[in-house]
Structure 1
């Protein structure tokens, strides 16, 4: 009898254990603001920044409990789709649309300096990423069949064009969360539209490889990529049919040479993916938020709310999410 009870207790423990890692949930911090947030940068467990449409940004210095919102004078019509922050004082912000601008603040957003501006409507900036406080890249939609690419080596004070990869007809990147570009490891771009590709710059130049995600229409493709040691994980889908789950996540374990579809997909269209730790990842989109505990092979939905972007702190454990309606959330265990 005792042996039977012990057996059932052990069996119950092993049944419960696999689900313990999915105890995470998203807790809303604020919402109901007339802006769409797509830019997010989390510095540490206290400091985070968001950027949005209508020229707004916000910063928190207490882990998201309260936010200081401000509209940047002279840029009230700008759609700031990406932001990179380095402290509670220093941040760089990028707009998508015309004019294409990159601004920088060193006083917590009280003043902003325009370090790049193009009024030509051909210039549409999609994403920005830094691998150090001094070095970063900004990419934009193709011009003359080449993706626009610019580099800074002085912390965003100046930007110089560099040779970007070739683009196919009707191929583009998505300014959905500022994560269609990463410079962690090798500079990497992911695309959608006519072709879902990953484009990686190595010693010989730009290397194009197809990805097995939804594509073919201008609202389908790969929206976000993250590097996790030798692995890469990409997510996307169809933002006009955001509940469609098939072919919305894939992964590579050999530095991007070979790609595999996830065994089980996220809850639908995903616009951002990030690493929590080790092989644990978070992805989000208008179809909800999902967790993978095996490097992107299998995904489980943990929240059904719509978000556009998610990021873990560069120096800490804080994980924030943001989306339409000024919505900001935090991942809780």
Structure 2
């Protein structure tokens, strides 16, 4: 996959819209790769057109360094029965993976040699904590979040690339709603932008909210969204192009074809949210902005993939396959991952 092809496809869409059937104008499509596994892959980190990492069931970590032609598999020691729901990679050698679950099932593993060896960097000791997602501002500074403990979401911080973690004081976190939690569906329930802004996506309670921080996770404010909420519904993922422009996706995973109140757009950093004019036809668990084409973003879920070319106001489905998560690298290469070991790169149709 080449950056020029991806950009050509997306520029064609942005400038000319989606062509009629039979048109010669190229449109984006997912090109599946052979990963050699049937594990469900909910963690994904796109480094470039050649390098991507994915993680998921049974301690599975996959890495490609040749654009998806081949994949190398590794498993952090002790994670064979764990769900690695999030992975954040900095290059072809360095990555940090998060396993989810109650108590000591929540762990962080780190590699600096492409997965040949892994170090356990964190193991949760709180019986009621359940870590869902991670995000990094840069190669050194990052955050991890847990479902509420004693009525507040728990946040960890690292300043050495995930090698060590410390707990952020609870005083800066607003109280959680009754039944509120985060969804570990795509590694995107915690996202960041710039050097200091971070967002936590929530659901499960009476209202679907986004918690917002402007000081690298030390203090947070809570804001209601326009997405539906309930025991299996809420905000599953957010993506912020910068500290102001963001998209929240979700819905109800128990009703994956329902599309009522499953997407929201913000222009003020998550303080207020509006519904789009047209929206994806179903629950969506992952979303990402394209790094070069500022109005372009992609959302994925079990019933298809959608693209917007106007900053989230209108959405068009371009693929009907199932994916859980999506990410674009700094060079413009976009990848998606999901059930049955599916990993795909965005290419021309």
TM-score (norm 2): 0.87
Between the aligned partners of 1:303 and 1:163, the Cα distance in structure 2 is 43
CA displacement at 1:121 relative to structure 2 = 3.9
2:209 corresponds in structure 1 to: 197
How many residue pairs end up in the alignment? 316
Deviation at 1:289, TM superposition (A): 0.4
- 1:280 corresponds to 2:279: no
Partner-residue secondary structure (3-state), 2:17: helix
- Aligned partner of 2:116 in structure 1 is 110
Does the C-alpha gap of structure 1 residues 73 and 206 become closer, same or farther in structure 2, counting only changes over 3 Å? Answer: closer
Cα distance change on mapping 1:136 and 1:40 into 2, 3 Å: same
1:41-71 Cα offsets, whole Å, 9 max, x none, are 1111211101111011010001112111123
Give, in angstroms, the shift of residue 73 of structure 1.
3.2
* Distance (whole Å) between structure 1 residues aligned to residue 169 and residue 186 of structure 2: 23
Between the aligned partners of 1:129 and 1:254, the Cα distance in structure 2 is 21
Q: Work out whether 1:17 is the aligned partner of 2:16.
A: yes
Q: Output the aligned Cα RMSD.
A: 1.8
CA distance in 2, matches of 1:163, 1:234: 27
Residue 31 of structure 1 deviates from its aligned partner by: 6.0
| Secondary structure of the structure 2 residue equivalent to 1:237 | strand
Task: Write the distance in 2 (CA, Å) between the matches of 1:88 and 1:38.
Answer: 19
Give matches, 1:166-205, under 5 Å.
Answer: 166-185=175-194, 186-194=197-205, 195-202=207-214, 205=219
SS at structure 2 position matched to 1:260: coil
Alpha carbons 2:192, 2:240 under 8 Å: kept: no
1: distance between equivalents of 2:245 and 2:84? 30
Q: Does 1:221 align with 2:234?
A: yes
1:7 match: none
The residue aligned with 1:34 is: 38
* SS of aligned partner of 1:261: coil
Looking at structure 2, the residues matched to 50 and 202 of structure 1 have their Cα atoms a distance apart, in angstroms, of 29
Runs of at least 4 residues off by over 4 Å: none
Match of 1:90 among 69, 80, 94: 94
**Offset at residue 99 of structure 1 (A):** 1.9
Greater Rg, structure 1 or structure 2? 1
Give 3-state SS (helix, strand or coil) of 2:18's partner.
helix
Structure 2: unaligned runs, 5 residues or longer = 1-14, 20-24
Q: Distance in 1 between matches of 2:167 and 2:127?
A: 17
Aligned counterpart, 2:327? 311
TM-score (norm 1): 0.91
Q: Is the 8 A contact 1:267 1:289 kept in 2?
A: no
Q: Check conservation: 1:288, 1:304, Cα contact below 8 A.
A: yes
CA–CA distance in 2 between the matches of 1:22 and 1:139? Answer: 40
The answer to whether structure 1 residue 51 and structure 2 residue 67 are counterparts is: no
- Alignment-derived partner of residue 70 in structure 1: 74
Choose the corresponding residue for 1:259, options 273, 297, 310: 273
In structure 1, runs of 5+ residues without a counterpart are: 1-15
> Contact 1:63 / 1:318 at 8 angstroms: preserved in 2?
no
CA contact (8 A) 2:76 2:109 kept: no
CA contact (8 A) 1:31 1:325 kept: no
Q: Distance in 2 between matches of 1:213 and 1:325?
A: 28
Using the alignment, how far apart are the partners of 2:198 and 2:77 within structure 1?
33
